[in-house]
Amino acid sequence: MDNFRRSLSVIDSDSVKMVVMSDGTRTAFVGVADNKAVNMVTSIDRMSQLLIRAVNNRTRERNYFRLYNQLLENEITEDAFDREIEEKEDDYVVSNHEDADQTDIEIALSLCPYLNVKDVDEMADLFSFSDSSIRKSLREE
């Protein structure tokens, strides 16, 4: 008798027909899926990546404003403020260096209403999209 548990699943929907067998360690599958269904799976993965980037950038913004508030409240000096940002730039500075393709922009636009993003500049900052890639994507439409 085998020491592991096997499972067999059958997916039979309008867009996906698949048989899946798993032994708990590995999964084998065979099937057919509409391109739309496959694209949705890859879009969900990319959406997760963009959401993580957005959360990290919001954290950087929050960190910066906390530090700036300390400066305004005279809890730290300007030199200490500048030194902290210089030494720990990744904790405080949002960089817009990521190239966004048409798919990234479409996914970001679908997320913006849930993230309270009101304009393109804010979207670019939140997702670290470079201005040049946004302009390029707009020309490709």
Q: Which helix (H) or strand (E) holds 33?
A: strand 27-33
Q: pLDDT tens digits, residue range 61-88?
A: 999 999 999 999 999 999 999 999 999 9
Please give the distance of CA 131 from its chain centroid, rounded to a whole number.
18
Sign, CA dihedral 39-40-43-49, equals negative
- pLDDT for res 1: 44
Alpha carbon distance, N-terminus to C-terminus of the chain: 59
pTM of the model: 0.69
Which residues is 44 bridged to in the sheet? none
* Distance separating alpha carbons of residues 8 and 23, to the nearest angstrom: 9
pLDDT tens-digit map of 3-16: 557 888 898 888 88
